[in-house]
Chains A and B, each alone.
Chain A
Amino acid sequence: EAGVAQSPRYKIIEKRQSVAFWCNPISGHATLYWYQQILGQGPKLLIQFQNNGVVDDSQLPKDRFSAERLKGVDSTLKIQPAKLEDSAVYLCASSSSVSSYNEQFFGPGTRLTVL
């Protein structure tokens, strides 16, 4: 079974530029999460999708961050414009709605550096 795929793995941009990250969850997983992990900290939820609907985006900085999950499969996270404090690893995770345990499977992450 293929795991969660993310691209790109690394991205370096200058502040005020735009950037987009892509995530392909495990096949059949209805729930998809985007987390932000700043160096030295634990991951923090940005947004949770159930199929193509948003369940929780309370911690998403909506003035600059946006995310979508068209057709309930792949997802894209965008930052526009980027700030220095957005430098972090962006992790995508997915889980099966059937499981009551909510075991989440994580992708390798995208490491973003904002200069």
Chain B
Amino acid sequence: AQKVTQAQTEISVVEKEDVTLDCVYETRDTTYYLFWYKQPPSGELVFLIRRNSFDEQNEISGRYSWNFQKSTSSFNFTITASQVVDSAVYFCALSMGATGRRALTFGSGTRLQVQP
């Protein structure tokens, strides 16, 4: 069985602060994919990043960076110099690598509030 845990229910920061959202996953598969999605108040899920289980390189995209560590089964997401527009609910998700059953297992989400 797969499971994704996002222990932080809600985080509040002041603009320009750095913030890290934690994600811990469980799976027995050796091939799997990890994702982060953003859900702004409008409700539509917006894809941010994916990682496969064989690629542990960290990634940076602008103010966003992701740290994938298989040893601790974690895939954490850091926003540098946060902005008010970053306020949203962020979901970490996991899917199997096997062809066919690739539905996403989501964590419960972390609500990020960035205060001006």
Query: In residues 60-115 of chain A, which contact B (Cβ within 8 Å)?
Result: 89, 91, 93, 95, 101-109, 111
Q: Are B44 and A56 in contact (CB under 8 A)?
A: no
Bound state CA distance, A103 and B37, in angstroms?
A: 11
Q: What is the distance, in angstroms, from A37's C-beta to the closest C-beta of chain B?
A: 8
Q: What is the distance, in angstroms, from B27's C-beta to the closest C-beta of chain A?
A: 14
Q: What is the distance, in angstroms, from A36's C-beta to the closest C-beta of chain B?
A: 11
Residues of chain A with a CB closer than 8 A to B45's CB: 43, 91, 93, 106
Q: Are A48 and B52 in contact (CB under 8 A)?
A: no
Q: Are A101 and B100 in contact (CB under 8 A)?
A: no
Q: What is the distance, in angstroms, from A1's C-beta to the closest C-beta of chain B?
A: 14
Q: What is the distance, in angstroms, from B75's C-beta to the closest C-beta of chain A?
A: 15
Q: Are A41 and B108 in contact (CB under 8 A)?
A: yes
Residues of chain A with a CB closer than 8 A to B109's CB: 40-42
Residues of chain B with a CB closer than 8 A to A42's CB: 4, 91, 93, 106-109
Bound state CA distance, A34 and B106, in angstroms?
A: 13
Q: Are B50 and A33 in contact (CB under 8 A)?
A: no
Residues of chain B with a CB closer than 8 A to A89's CB: 43
Whether A48 touches B101, Cβ cut-off 8 Å, given contacts A43-B45, A109-B43, is yes
Bound state CA distance, A56 and B102, in angstroms?
A: 9
Query: In residues 5-53 of chain A, which contact B (Cβ within 8 Å)?
Result: 31, 33, 35, 40-45, 48, 50
**Is B85 in the interface zone, CB < 8 Å from A?**
no
- Give the residue of A50, A104, A108, A109 whose beta carbon is less than 8 angstroms from that of B104: A104
Q: Are B50 and A101 in contact (CB under 8 A)?
A: yes
Bound state CA distance, A79 and B47, in angstroms?
A: 28
Q: Are A44 and B95 in contact (CB under 8 A)?
A: no
Interface centre among B52, B93, B102, B108 (most CB of A within 10 A): B102
- Give the residue of A43, A50, A101, A105 whose beta carbon is less than 8 angstroms from that of B106: A43
Closest to B91 in A: A42
- Give the residue of B103, B107, B108 whose beta carbon is less than 8 angstroms from that of A56: B103
B interface residue numbers (CB < 8 A to A) = 4, 33, 37, 42-45, 47, 50, 52, 91, 93, 95, 100-109
